[in-house]
Amino acid sequence: IWNTVGVVRGAERPDELVLIGAHRDGWGPGATDNVSGTVSVLEAVRAVAEELKAGRRPRRTLVFATWDAEEWGLVGSTEYVEEDSARLTSGAVAYLNQDGAASGPAFGGGGSPSLRAALRDVARAVPDPSGAGSVYDVWRRAAHVAEGAEPAMGDPGGGSDFAGFYN
């Protein structure tokens, strides 16, 4: 089992960690599970590298990871959590799991209730590729959400790498 982990130390709050991870293994060929997740982690690394080259550092420490053996029982991420549990318990602010990050044109999201407002805010800020408003606008219309209500988001289950961090 081989995990890959990269760290960018935060400038203002280096002991606070924001982690973004995705598993590299899959049951078969396909872009959704989980090439899309791995690519999203790598694209985040590329974007942060550009900011670093420009002299801008993140406030918090960023940890980028690709996990091995997710399909075989969440082995890679679980081992990481077990090995670094003291630091994660005291300093982890968020874990952003990228499993099946992209599949077709429809947007949807889910996760910890404490992160749902942040996800909605990001969706509001990103233009939808269709040109029909923001990702959030298109999501709301597709979900047929009543005025004043929010599109539904799923709750974490237990079948992906977030489980060790969430627990």
Record the tokens describing residue 52, joined without a space: 């670093």
Q: What is the pTM of this model?
A: 0.87
Q: Which residue numbers are catalytic?
A: 70
Whether the CB-CB separation of 123 and 136 falls below 8 Å is answered with yes
pLDDT tens sequence across 86-140: 999 999 999 999 998 888 888 988 888 888 999 999 999 999 999 999 999 999 9
pLDDT tens sequence across 42-80: 999 999 999 999 999 999 999 999 999 999 999 999 999
Give the strand pairing for 13-23 and 4-8.
unpaired
Q: How far apart are CA 94 and CA 61, in angstroms?
A: 11
Whether the CB-CB separation of 77 and 165 falls below 8 Å is answered with yes
pLDDT tens sequence across 142-167: 999 998 899 999 888 778 999 999 88
Query: What is the SS3 assignment for 98?
Result: coil
Query: What is the SS3 assignment for 82?
Result: helix
The closest alpha carbon to 94, from 16, 7, 15, 4, belongs to: 16
Beta strands in the chain (DSSP E): 4-8, 13-23, 60-67, 92-97
Would you call 54 exposed, middle or buried from its count of C-beta atoms within 10 A (0-12, 13-18, 19+)?
A: exposed
